[in-house]
Amino acid sequence: MNNQANNTIGYLGAEAAYLLEYQCTKIRLEQISTPFQREQVFHESNRNIPVIRSMSQLYAHGNLGNSGYLSILPVDQGIEHSAIYSFYKNPDYFDPENIIKLAIAGGCNGVASSFGVLSIHARKYAHKIPFIVKLNHNELLTHPVKYDQIFYGTVKDAWNMGAVAVGATVYFGSLQSSRQLNEVAIAFERAHELGMGTILWCYTRNEAFTQQGADYNKAADITGQANYLGVSIQADVIKQKLPDTNYGFKALKQGLFNDEMYGMTATDHPIDLCRLQVANCYMGKIGLINSGGASGKSDIAEAVRTAVINKRAGGSGLILGRKAFQRPFNEGVQLLRAVQEVYLDKTITIA
């Protein structure tokens, strides 16, 4: 057994066999496109050569370069969660250069952040690590808080600073989701015209999706449908939270559902739940990257667990921010590399 496998087993603890030995029998491996087939998918699509080149740059960079997987550092929390709340543990990250330095030292494929963060050092770093410019954000200060996303700049501005891709969020289920979906679809079309890839933060956000103590904003069926809408507007990568439950449509009595559809597509095993998200990304033809979640007491173990589930489900990597930057720099680098070890470890296979 190699050192990578030993490290992963140590982080997984009692769940090691449960996660590493499981095999999917609902949506099977032979039914999905794996990350190693993604280049062929893009070559058969309507994506133009500059888009394919930009996506190749992203997939070829960093410690996971040319592995088929992505490790991205996203830091837009200064806008989304307030800068003081996000950076009080490490005030160095008020300085955007340290965000970029962490992504480079951590061997990430790319760094995703706001127009301001990336533009202030674009000439120094845009050629050293792929930039992903986040086009829209919540602005937080409106009271009462509303689940909306507004554009902070233009696609052309992102192209001018040398970005290889743009990112955007749609809060599916919110009152503003229809407008957001339309705006992002237009922006993604423009990004493709200019030769940039597109990444969609495919989040569901509605207080009514929490019922009797269960948060169906992270249900496999609800998030899976958000993914399907995301690939419908030609996102090249989908970012989604790891599901921790299912039966969202049934619990909310929303849309069309029956018991048979749940029985045919997933069990309650976390790899099966994530496999359903992958299936909604055109059976894996569009890459699914799961988010790392909030910072806590067992960040490395939690991040490694998420990476194992994502990889074994057929996903394409992790986009992990708070767990990395809300800790000392060297520990953040260590965490990013621990996650990358999962994707480099050939003994951890797709279930």
Q: Which positions are catalytic? A: 239
What tokens does 148 get? 């909306």
Which residue's structure tokens are 């979906």?
Answer: 181
CB 166 within 8 Å of CB 155: yes
By the 10 Å C-beta count (0-12 exposed, 13-18 middle, 19+ buried), 207 is classed as exposed
The span from the first CA to the last CA of the chain, in angstroms, equals: 19
**What one-letter code names the amino acid at 94?**
F
Separation between Cα atoms, residue 29 and residue 215, nearest integer Å: 29
Q: Is the peptide bond before 144 cis (omega within 30 degrees of 0)?
A: yes
